[in-house]
A = this chain, B = another copy of it.
Amino acid sequence: MKMSDGVEQAIHSVAMLSGLSEGGVLSAAALAEFHGVSTSYLLKHLQALSGAGILDTVPGPRGGYKLAKAAEEISLLDILLAVEGPAPAFRCAEIRQRGPNPVSDRFFAKPCNISAAMLRAERVYRAELAKTSIADLGIELNALDDGSIAARGCAFLEIHERKTAR
């Protein structure tokens, strides 16, 4: 079981975008440069984040990405589901219904208890991820920072942030 590298890239990108000033956007190329990753690969994940209502896209040559809502309202779960899709990791192929001698159909009206137990654990996992917002991550990072982490981000935004009409 492995999630795509895109999850890490997407979370870092959303965290970076939470530092933009009002009306500012960052291009996919700038986000990719800051994180040292492939622009084309990151673009796929930024589009998924836009599709999920986490990012807004400002079109045009001076366009880019910004948060579509407050950093407090974007959880790690929101980002995971945007990048990896909503399906649970455990997939039940209903093998209990196969084989040469299946039991009566009425036992299959309820989900298999193996599937139920696996999905119960995934609900707990998702609930845990839902507890942490992008704003929380920023607060944690600030607590560690002697100013140099913030300065690095600010210096990058100073050069790369694009101001839009809005």
Contact = CB atoms under 8 A, between A and B. Distances in A.
A76 B117 contact: yes
Nearest to A140: B113
Contact of A8 (B91, B124, B129): B91
Interface in A83-106: 84, 87, 89-93, 95-96, 98-104
A2 interface: yes
Nearest to A15: B114
B2 A114 contact: no
Contact of A152 (B3, B101, B145): B101
Nearest to A120: B128
Nearest to A132: B117
Contacts of A70: none
Contacts of A144: 107, 110, 113
Interface stretch (A20-28, A33-41, A47-55, A56-64): A33-41
Nearest to A118: B76
A113 B155 CA distance: 21
Nearest to A143: B113
Contacts of A141: 113
Contacts of A156: 101
A120 B95 CA distance: 32
A117 B14 CA distance: 15
A162 interface: no
